[in-house]
A and B are shown apart, each in its own frame.
Chain A
Amino acid sequence: MEIQFAGFGGQGIILAGYLLGKAIAVYEGKSASMTQSYGPEARGGACSSGVVVSRNPEELVDYPRVTRPDILVVMSQEAFSTYLPRLKPEGTLLYDADLVNPESIPEGVTAYPVPATRLAETEIGKRIVANVVMLGALVVLTRVVSPEALREAVRTTVKPDYVELNLKALEVGMAYAQNLLQPQEV
Chain B
Amino acid sequence: MSNAVLTGTHFMLGDHACAEGAIAAGCRFFAGYPITPATEIAERMARRLPQLGGVYIQMEDELASMAAILGASCGGMKTMTATSGPGLSLMLENIGLGIMLEIPCVVVNVQRGAPSTGLPTLVGQGDVMQARWGSHGDYEIIALAPSSVQEMFDFTVLAFNLAERYRTPVILLADEAVGHLTERVVIPPPEEIELWERPRPTVPPEEYLPYATDESLIPPMALAGEGYFVHMTGLTHDERGYPIINGEAHERLVRRLLEKIRKHAPEIIRYEEVLMDDAEVAVVSYGITARSALRAVREARRQGIRAGLLRLITVWPFPEDQIRELSRQVELFVVAEINQGQIRREVERAAAGQVPVAGVHKLGGTLITPDEILEALWVRKP
Q: Which residues of A contact B (CB under 8 A)?
A: 18, 21-22, 25-26, 31-36, 38-39, 60-65, 67, 153
Cβ of B70 to closest chain A Cβ, rounded Å: 31
Q: Which residues of B contact A60 (CB under 8 A)?
A: 147-148, 183, 291, 294
**B25-44 near A? 1/0 per residue, CB < 8 Å:** 00000000000110000000
Q: Which residues of B contact A18 (CB under 8 A)?
A: 11, 182
- Chain A residue nearest to B148 (CB atoms) is A60
For B11, B120, B148, B288, which residue has the most chain A Cβ atoms within 10 angstroms?
Answer: B11
Cβ of A182 to closest chain B Cβ, rounded Å: 34
State whether A63 and B295 are in contact (beta carbons under 8 Å apart), knowing that A22-B11, A26-B9 are contacts in the complex: yes
The 5 tightest CB contacts between A and B, nearest first, are A62-B295, A22-B11, A34-B182, A39-B121, A25-B184
State the main secondary structure of chain B at its contact with A: mixed
| Complex Cα–Cα for A62 and B290 (A) | 9
Question: What's the tally of chain B residues with a CB closer than 8 Å to chain A?
Answer: 23
Q: Is the CB of B291 within 8 A of A63?
A: yes
Q: Which residues of A contact B288 (CB under 8 A)?
A: 64
30 A-B pairs (CB sep. < 8 Å): A18-B182, A25-B11, A25-B184, A31-B183, A33-B181, A33-B182, A34-B11, A34-B181, A34-B183, A35-B180, A36-B180, A36-B182, A38-B36, A38-B180, A39-B36, A39-B121, A60-B147, A60-B183, A60-B291, A60-B294, A61-B183, A62-B291, A62-B294, A62-B370, A63-B370, A64-B181, A64-B288, A65-B367, A67-B369, A153-B11
| Complex Cα–Cα for A60 and B185 (A) | 12
| Complex Cα–Cα for A64 and B288 (A) | 9
B292 close to A (CB within 8 Å) = yes
Q: Is the CB of A31 within 8 A of B184?
A: yes
| Complex Cα–Cα for A63 and B148 (A) | 11
State whether A25 and B370 are in contact (beta carbons under 8 Å apart), knowing that A39-B36, A60-B291, A63-B291 are contacts in the complex: no
B177 close to A (CB within 8 Å) = yes
| Complex Cα–Cα for A33 and B147 (A) | 12
For B36, B182, B294, which residue has the most chain A Cβ atoms within 10 angstroms?
Answer: B182
Q: Which residues of B contact A26 (CB under 8 A)?
A: 9-11, 184
Cβ of A175 to closest chain B Cβ, rounded Å: 26
Q: Is the CB of B183 within 8 A of A25?
A: yes
Q: Is the CB of B369 within 8 A of A63?
A: yes
Cβ of A149 to closest chain B Cβ, rounded Å: 11
- Chain B residue nearest to A56 (CB atoms) is B298
| Complex Cα–Cα for A1 and B292 (A) | 16
Cβ of B228 to closest chain A Cβ, rounded Å: 47
- Chain B residue nearest to A153 (CB atoms) is B11
Q: Is the CB of A35 within 8 A of B182?
A: yes
Q: Is the CB of A61 within 8 A of B291?
A: yes
- Contact partner of B37 (CB less than 8 A), chosen from A21, A22, A38, A64, is A38
Q: Which residues of A contact B11 (CB under 8 A)?
A: 18, 21-22, 25-26, 34, 153
Q: Is the CB of A64 within 8 A of B184?
A: no
| Complex Cα–Cα for A38 and B182 (A) | 13
| Complex Cα–Cα for A33 and B295 (A) | 15
Q: Which residues of B contact A36 (CB under 8 A)?
A: 180, 182
For A21, A25, A36, A64, which residue has the most chain B Cβ atoms within 10 angstroms?
Answer: A64
Q: Which of B36-62 contact A (CB under 8 A)?
A: 36-37
Q: Which residues of A contact B36 (CB under 8 A)?
A: 38-39
For B121, B181, B184, B294, which residue has the most chain A Cβ atoms within 10 angstroms?
Answer: B184
| Complex Cα–Cα for A63 and B182 (A) | 13
Cβ of A50 to closest chain B Cβ, rounded Å: 10
Q: Is the CB of B120 within 8 A of A32?
A: no
| Complex Cα–Cα for A38 and B36 (A) | 9
Q: Which residues of B contact A62 (CB under 8 A)?
A: 291-292, 294-295, 370
Cβ of A111 to closest chain B Cβ, rounded Å: 28
Q: Which residues of A contact B37 (CB under 8 A)?
A: 38
Q: Which of B155-189 contact A (CB under 8 A)?
A: 177, 180-184
| Complex Cα–Cα for A32 and B10 (A) | 12
Q: Which residues of A contact B183 (CB under 8 A)?
A: 21, 25, 31-34, 60-61, 64
**B180-217 near A? 1/0 per residue, CB < 8 Å:** 11111000000000000000000000000000000000
Q: Is the CB of A38 within 8 A of B121?
A: yes
| Complex Cα–Cα for A63 and B370 (A) | 8
| Complex Cα–Cα for A58 and B184 (A) | 12
- Chain A residue nearest to B119 (CB atoms) is A39
Q: Which residues of B contact A65 (CB under 8 A)?
A: 177, 367
Q: Which residues of A contact B182 (CB under 8 A)?
A: 18, 21, 33-36
Q: Is the CB of B9 within 8 A of A64?
A: no
Q: Which residues of A contact B292 (CB under 8 A)?
A: 62-63
| Complex Cα–Cα for A32 and B185 (A) | 11
